[in-house]
A and B are shown apart, each in its own frame.
Chain A
């Protein structure tokens, strides 16, 4: 069974800093990998989707990379802002369903 891990569980950074969130998975046979943002008490907002044939995707200050062979993905956030404070989850599409990590809770300090 696919297992998805996100480390660290929590991260606190000063405003303006660049940061990297990590996602690892155990089975490299994936269809795609999706990064989400979740605000407290809210649903998940899709940030980026990387197909298995792609190496990275970019949207504004966000850049996600995928290395299937090593079972890793990173989400890079440039010039962090207090509004970026949220929980970030990754999900892997594998074996006909999605598997979610437990998320990284990010706090950006003004």
Chain B
């Protein structure tokens, strides 16, 4: 059953902590993306990767980091430098850069 999985579904972070959000896909897609969704705003691109061991910053990369060591996995780390990290985070993938995107179920991050 092909798809994109994200974990955890809910995540709570204390001030000053780094946290890592998981994203895995078994669609054999080359491109993967991380978006942030805030109430009343459209999705904003954090990072994207078109191939293994390569990734580029999106519009709001400050305070975030990623890695792409395997084709199937694209974890996102929210660092303590991100001042307002409370949001809904969505991972997506596509066969190539501007082809049809498919999304995971999302992770809701809350800062305590």
Q: Do A and B make up one complex?
A: yes
* A: number of interface residues (CB 8 Å): 23
Return the contact of A98 from the options B40, B98, B104, B108 (Cβ within 8 A): B98
Return the contact of B105 from the options A36, A43, A100 (Cβ within 8 A): A43
Q: Which of B42-50, B65-73, B78-86 contacts A (4 or more CB under 8 A)?
A: B42-50
Residues of A within 8 A of B48 (CB): 97
Chain B stretch 1-17: residues in CB contact (< 8 A) with chain A: 4, 6
- The answer to whether A4 touches B97, judged by C-beta atoms less than 8 angstroms apart, is no
Residues of A within 8 A of B104 (CB): 43
**Chain A nearest CB: distance from B59 CB in Å?**
8
* B: number of interface residues (CB 8 Å): 25
Closest to A98 in B: B101
Chain A stretch 52-110: residues in CB contact (< 8 A) with chain B: 89, 91, 93, 96-103
- The answer to whether B42 touches A31, judged by C-beta atoms less than 8 angstroms apart, is no
Q: Is the interface of A mostly helix, strand, loop or mixed?
A: strand
- Give Cα A100–Cα B33 distance, bound, in whole angstroms: 14
Residues of A within 8 A of B102 (CB): 46
In the complex, whether A28 has a CB less than 8 A from a CB of chain B is no
Closest to A44 in B: B103
- The answer to whether B58 touches A97, judged by C-beta atoms less than 8 angstroms apart, is yes
Closest to A101 in B: B42
- The answer to whether B103 touches A43, judged by C-beta atoms less than 8 angstroms apart, is yes
- Give Cα A102–Cα B43 distance, bound, in whole angstroms: 8
Closest to A92 in B: B98
- Give Cα A102–Cα B48 distance, bound, in whole angstroms: 21
Chain A positions near chain B (C-beta within 8 angstroms): 4, 31-32, 34, 36, 41-46, 49, 89, 91, 93, 96-103
Sorted nearest first, the 10 A-B pairs with minimum C-beta distance are A100-B42, A93-B98, A43-B103, A44-B103, A100-B43, A31-B98, A43-B105, A49-B100, A102-B42, A43-B106
